[in-house]
Chains A and B, each alone.
Chain A
Amino acid sequence: MKILEVVDPRSCSGCGICELVCSFHNGPDRSFRPSVSHIRAVREGGLNRFHPEISEQCNGCGLCAAHCDYGVLAARPGQGAAR
């Protein structure tokens, strides 16, 4: 269990890799399925800018942070709700 932190939301490129990883490992059918991901890259105001939003279902596995190439997410050891 880790605590997931959004450390630099402005750097989100919208690649969606976090959604792929999360949905595959935590989703109901082991598929790449962004719609069921516990983290979503959310579009901002008609631009191609995104920021991550973490749902309450996040189990703190930290895989999204491990796969984020843009330094948006970090996971640190600990117990507790994902942020």
Chain B
Amino acid sequence: MRPGGGYAGSILHIDLTSKTYRTEPLPEDLTAPFVGGAGINAALALKLLEPGADPFAPGNCAVFGLGPLVGTLVPGAGKGNVTARSPYGRFLGISGHGRFGALKYAGYDHLVVTGRADRPTVVSVADDRVSFLDAADLWGRDVFETTDRVWARLGGHADVTCIGPAGENRVYDAALITNKYAAFARAGMGAVLGSKNCKAIAVSGSGGVRVADRTRFLKASRSLFDLVRSDRNLLEWRRLGTLISLETFARMGLYARRNFQSAYDEGLLEHFGVEEFAGRIKEGDVACQGCPVGCKHHVRAPGPGGRDIRMAVSCMNAVMQSFGTFCGLESWPGVVRCAEEAVRMGLDFMSTGSLISFAMELHQRGLLTPEDTDGLRLEWGDEGAVREMIRRIGTRQGFGDRLAEGLERAVQELGPDTAPYAMQAKGLGLLYDPRVRLGSTEIFSQFTNVRGYISNVSIAMVERTPQQIRRYCEKIGLGPEAIARIVSDDGYDVGRLNKWTEDVCTALEILGVCMFPPFQRLPLELWAEACSAATGVETTADDLVRASENLWHARRAYNLREGAGPGDDTCPGRFFSEPVSAGGRRFGPLSRTDFEGLVRSYYAERGWDEETGEPPEAVLRDLGLLEAARRT
């Protein structure tokens, strides 16, 4: 296709085995149904990934994608997506962050990396020049050292996305980290690149992104910027980032304690006060590409051996949760030190925190002894033990090796009596306690999402009345029939609601825009207008929702093809058998029957078979995906 704008119009394919590359035009049969970015990635992944193949086989490609608004003057339009077969095997690995947009200026909407290099390699993409650079001197180096050395070699203008020792060692929770802080964090994308001997991808571009109708585009851009800038929470988002909800969530009891054995209440704020963070830990604002919000942070904390830690952090709530509430640490400097260790290793914060929390509960219950853990005593709140475990997981040293393939494999490794304590869905550690707030679409979607937990920044993290949910549904354009399915006078069906909040978030993801509330709360029509003006292809809000639906059909078809099914869309047993208390209130246990009913509701609202969760054959055929979905 020759797009009018928005798109670069090209897919770059890189084969590490042969150290060759080629480009292909971005095909219209993908842009029409999937629009771009994460949507096209979902379709490409379903088509390109070999059914049942080893996640670390050379043929497992990693597909990077940028939506049509990335690189333009649209607020928050810096989000990139990567999609690949996750090391967890039967689940699609997906992840995103806001610092991969340079690929667009180099002239590509998508980058497909396949094959396996015969030795450690850095891939350099600089406009139409692709180079394969020897990286033997980088192998074994941490993310900070690697990034510095690639910058020294190629110039500081390149965006450097690399793996640390964890990715090299194919640790399932290894991240891909750009410029030392922006992470394709969850679902093991670092391990996929590590299996290809790809230590880093450096991207720089000197080209531009055109828009089809400049006057119309600038008008849409101005409307969007004006609305983001008029958000009454804008400055608080900038000051606190994802900690903006910490006080509210703590009071609700949403932060699980000791691997979901109990829950924190507002007492958590004595250790993790937001003012202490803003006044003593935070040093400045960091923004994703093209973002007027700037919710990331420069942080500073006393490090080990008297040195100062100074680093950028994307999601401070993840840092606090992963090493604070999960592992029992009780200070900002402590969790920052753990975060630095995890970034150096190239590990995802949340998954690593979940693994260590799991091991700490096993230790508490006598299911692990210091002999099992190479002499390490995994006591709750022991910062030294947490940091040591981060290093051992990243390097697969000793007991770390037994945790290095995620919670699902760890249970196989450590024995079936450890299974009740693996608080995971699809192998990924859970973030929030569904017993406390199953009515949140973000919390519910931990179980139905194709990869396990993913943020869809629910409008219902706090309690909402049916009237409020009804107004939300009206605002996003649902008709009376759909609203009647979702909301009654007594409450609402979170399974059905989840389909629509996912679609709103996914529509932004497809365009390449951040889905955080300052963006998500804006009318989808305005984003569609910016897309129309940029691409020259008339796009409505309904078109974006349809593209989201198509993306979810493709992702679901992938999981089903690979052997996943409704049995994977479930909760750990603890939530069905034990209650939890927080702030003097008792929550749960959940009813398995009710929970399974909500999962069926979600399938039904998506148009999938209520029992099997299968997308309709006719829809897959129309999308040109039926053959790929049925391949064996």
Any chain B CB within 8 A of the CB of A56?
no
Q: Shortest distance in angstroms between A15's beta carbon and chain B's nearest beta carbon? A: 4
Q: Give Cα A12 to B555, complex, Å.
A: 38
A46 and B148 in contact, given A31-B208, A35-B205 (Cβ under 8 angstroms):
yes
Q: How far is the CA of A23 from the CA of B95 in the complex (A)?
A: 30
- Is A57 on the interface with B (CB-CB < 8 A)? no
Nearest-neighbour CB distance to chain A for B144, whole angstroms, equals: 8
Question: A15 and B289 in contact (CB under 8 A), knowing A29-B208, A49-B284, A69-B294?
Answer: yes
A27 to B208, CA, bound (A): 10
Decide: A10 near B290, CB < 8 A? Known: A23-B208, A49-B298.
no
**Would you call B71 an interface residue if the criterion is a C-beta within 8 Å of the partner chain's C-beta atoms?**
yes
Q: Which residue of A lies closest to B180 (CB)?
A: A48
Tell me whether A32 and B208 are in contact (CB under 8 A): yes
Q: How far is the CA of A12 from the CA of B205 in the complex (A)?
A: 22
Do B290 and A14 have beta carbons less than 8 Å apart?
A: no
Residue in A17, A21, A27, A36 with the greatest tally of chain B CB atoms within 10 Å: A17
Give B131-172 as 1s and 0s: 1 = Cβ < 8 Å from A's Cβ atoms.
Answer: 000000000000000011001000011000000000000000
Q: Which residues of A contact B71 (CB under 8 A)?
A: 32
* Chain B interface, >50% SS class: loop
User: Is residue A62 contacting chain B, with contact meaning CB distance below 8 A?
Assistant: no
Are A13 and B287 in touch, CB under 8 angstroms?
Answer: yes
Residue A33 at the chain B interface, CB threshold 8 Å? yes
Known: A13-B286, A29-B208, A33-B207. A46 touches B72 (CB 8 A): no
Contact in complex: A43, B72 (CB < 8 Å): no
- Number of residue pairs A-B, CB distance < 8 angstroms: 83
| A68–chain B nearest beta-carbon distance, Å | 9
The yes or no answer to B251 lying at the interface (CB within 8 A) is: no
Give CA–CA (A20, B310) in the complex, Å. Answer: 28
> How far in angstroms is the closest Cβ of chain A from B148?
5
Given the known A-B contacts A33-B105, A33-B208, are A15 and B290 also in contact in the complex, defined by CB atoms under 8 Å? yes
Q: Given A10-B284, A32-B72, A48-B312, A17–B208 Cβ distance below 8 Å?
A: no
Interface residues on B, range: 35 or more
Q: Which of A10, A15, A36, A48 contacts B208 (CB 8 A)?
A: A36
Q: Beta-carbon contacts of B192-227 to A below 8 Å, as 1s and 0s?
A: 000000000000011111110010000000000100
Q: Report whether B298 and A15 are in contact in the complex, using a CB–CB cutoff of 8 Å.
A: no
Known: A16-B290, A32-B72. A47 touches B208 (CB 8 A): no
Q: In the complex the two chains form, is A17's CB within 8 Å of B290's CB?
A: yes
**Is the C-beta of B47 less than 8 angstroms from some C-beta in chain A?**
no
Which residues in A have their C-beta under 8 angstroms from that of B105? 33-35
Residue B73 CB within 8 A of the other chain: yes
Contact flag A70-B285 (CB < 8 Å), given A17-B292, A32-B72: yes
* Known contacts A31-B210, A35-B205, A35-B206; A15/B310 CB under 8 A: no
Cβ-closest chain B residue relative to A34: B105
Of the residues B181, B209, B290, B310, contact of A33 by C-beta under 8 Å: B209
Residues on the A chain within 8 Å of B81, using CB? none
Chain A residues whose C-beta falls within 8 Å of the C-beta of B294 in the assembled complex? 13, 15, 69-70
Of B72, B156, B179, B210, the residue contacting A30 (CB under 8 A) is B210
CB distance from A2 to the nearest CB of B (A): 20
Q: Does B288 contact A (CB under 8 A)?
A: yes
Q: How far is the CA of A70 from the CA of B71 in the complex (A)?
A: 19
Complex Cα distance A32/B72, Å? 6
- From A13, A20, A29, give the contact of B210 (CB < 8 A): A29
Q: Which residue of B lies closest to A31 (CB)?
A: B208
Please tell me if B360 contacts chain A, counting CB pairs below 8 Å. no
A58 CB to closest chain B CB (Å) equals 18
Least CB distance from B100 to A in Å reads 13
* A interface residues (Cβ-Cβ under 8 A, vs B): 10-11, 13-17, 20-21, 23-24, 27, 29-36, 43, 46-49, 67, 69-70
The 5 lowest CB-CB distance pairs between A and B, nearest first, are A33-B208, A31-B208, A15-B287, A13-B287, A35-B206
Query: Would you give 25 A-B contacts (Cβ < 8 Å), ordered by A?
Result: A11-B285, A13-B287, A13-B291, A13-B294, A14-B286, A15-B287, A15-B289, A15-B294, A17-B290, A20-B73, A23-B208, A31-B208, A32-B71, A32-B210, A33-B105, A33-B206, A34-B105, A35-B205, A43-B156, A43-B157, A46-B151, A47-B312, A49-B298, A70-B287, A70-B294
